Copies of this chain bind each other. A is one copy, B any other.
Amino acid sequence: MSEITKRRLRLGMVGGGEGAFIGEVHRFAARLDDHYELVAGALSSQHDKAERSAKALGMARSYVDFEAMAQQESEREDGIEVVSIVTPNHLHAPVAMAFLKKGIHVICDKPLTATLAEAKTLSQVAEESQAQFLLTHNYSAYPMVREARAMVKEGKLGNIRSIQVEYAQDWLTHSLEQTGNKQAVWRSDPAQAGLAGCVGDIGSHAYQLACFVANTQAKEVLADLSSWGEGRQLDDEANILLRFENGAKGHLWASQVAPGNENALTLRIYGDQAGIEWHQETPNELMYSVLGEPSQRLRRGNGYLSDAAASVSRIPSGHPEGYLEAFANLYCEFAEQLLTATTNPHLPTLATGLHGMRFIAASVYSSQNNGLWVPIGH
């Protein structure tokens, strides 16, 4: 990572109390490069749990109500400068708006909101705020993903024709939500997860990754969504055909019911000159195949890579960097952006999230109508 002034940003967190998954991940990410100091949080809406969680983290100030937190932190001289939102989806919008209105920068987990309507409202609020917004599409911060994006931009694939992207898991094969599993419960509850299940939770990641690397967006989608889990209200699998603005076509498969898959996010992009292939579970490699030549295995940390990869890489090649390092890259780059008043074009923004919500909404609508081509819109 490039050197930046060693001033730590004061960070708050909403959500992420005891038993949470993604909150812990955000904290690892914030800590790794030492650009943040976690000083305040509304880790839970239950008072005792919030207190216990804050104590366990050695956090200075604990809140129960995020509105109160936004208010009070904005009034303190040593109040937080950035807040991380790691709640279920339905709270993203209200929490983000509360802090944006107080001029506090927001780091928000994906998908942006539970509904497209919320996303639009949030966008308006954000436009009126001076504060900045980071959406944690963490997979786009892996070094070899950055390399892939750079390669596409430099024309190393030729004209992009075909994109195959998939994100497969298996943890919802059975209806885990009926056992009380916290992660499963909220993700399969429309009131908390929003209009989509699997498409929102991981399909949105796959879609953002494809767009990020291929440097384009879908103009229309055609989706076939399924709900395999017994009694499950939201989708747990999706096959989505894609037509992109740059003329490419593709397919996105997202599944949470595919036994043997853990976090099998895979991206393949083919142009008229070359193709690339990347797998999240072995993220330090990128296969690059020029037509008629031996495939090349590009690996993180090597001198032959571009700055795009090098700038988000910490250790020598062959020493694997993983999920937390990629997640930390977003935190690191956002800190750099805030501290140096520059704009990093690789960071997912609120606009990214709004487009992502359009993708989700269009996919759901297409599937509800037995597979129409639905424009994503602007």
Given the complex of chains A and B, what is the CA–CA distance between A362 and B124 in angstroms?
46
Nearest chain-B residue to A169 (Cβ)? B318
Contacting pair A294 B292 (CB below 8 A): no
Is A250's beta carbon under 8 Å from chain B?
yes
In the complex, how many angstroms separate the beta carbon of A258 from the nearest chain B beta carbon? 4
The number of chain A residues with a CB under 8 A from chain B is: 90
Task: Tell me if A270 and B259 are in contact (CB < 8 A).
Answer: yes
Q: Which residues of B have CB within 8 Å of A161?
A: 226, 228, 237, 257
CB pair A291–B173 under 8 Å, yes or no, is yes
Tell me if A325 counts as interface (CB < 8 A to partner B).
Answer: yes
- Chain copies in the assembled complex: 4
Which residues in chain A, 190-247, are within 8 Å of chain B measured between CB atoms?
A: 222, 224, 226, 228, 237, 239, 241, 243
Which residue of B21, B226, B270, B282 is within 8 Å of A249 (Cβ)? B226
A117 within 8 A of B: no
| Chain A 314-329 interface mask (CB, 8 Å, partner B; 1/0) | 1111111111110000
A23 to chain B, nearest CB (A): 12
CB A318 to nearest CB in B, in angstroms, measures 2
Distance to closest chain B CB from A26 (angstroms): 12
A273: min CB distance to chain B, Å: 7
Say which residue of B21, B164, B298, B322 sits within 8 Å of A253 (CB atoms).
Answer: B164
A371 within 8 A of B: yes
Nearest chain B CB to A298 CB, angstrom units: 5
Q: How far is the CA of A370 from the CA of B371 in the complex (A)?
A: 10
Shortest distance in angstroms between A185's beta carbon and chain B's nearest beta carbon?
Answer: 16
Q: Which residues of B sit under 8 angstroms from A295, Cβ to Cβ? A: 260, 296-297, 299
**A297 — which chain B residues lie within 8 A by C-beta?**
287, 294-297
Instruction: Identify which of B258, B262, B294 contacts A288 (C-beta below 8 A).
Output: B294
> Is the Cβ of A292 less than 8 Å from the Cβ of B318?
no
A337 within 8 A of B: no
Q: Which residues of B contact A222 (CB under 8 A)?
A: 222, 224, 241, 371
Q: Are B55 and A6 in contact (CB under 8 A)?
A: yes
Closest chain-B Cβ to A330's Cβ sits at a distance in Å of 15
Judged by a CB distance under 8 angstroms, whether A41 is at the interface is: no
Would you call A274 an interface residue if the criterion is a C-beta within 8 Å of the partner chain's C-beta atoms? yes
For residue A155, CB closer than 8 A to chain B, the reply is no
Q: Is A293 an interface residue (CB 8 A)?
A: yes
**Chain B residue with minimal CB distance to A262?**
B318
**B170 near A275: Cβ-Cβ < 8 Å:** yes
Q: Mark A1-33, 1 if CB is under 8 A from B, else 0.
A: 001001010000000000001001100100110
The residues in A between 264 and 320 inclusive whose CB is less than 8 angstroms from any CB of B are 264, 268, 270-277, 280-284, 287-299, 301-304, 314-320
CA distance A281 to B280 in the complex (A): 14
Whole-angstrom CA separation of A251 from B165 in the bound complex: 12
Closest residue on chain B to residue A243 by CB atoms: B224
Residue pairs across A and B with Cβ atoms less than 8 A apart, 7 shown, are A6-B55, A8-B58, A251-B253, A258-B270, A263-B319, A287-B297, A295-B299
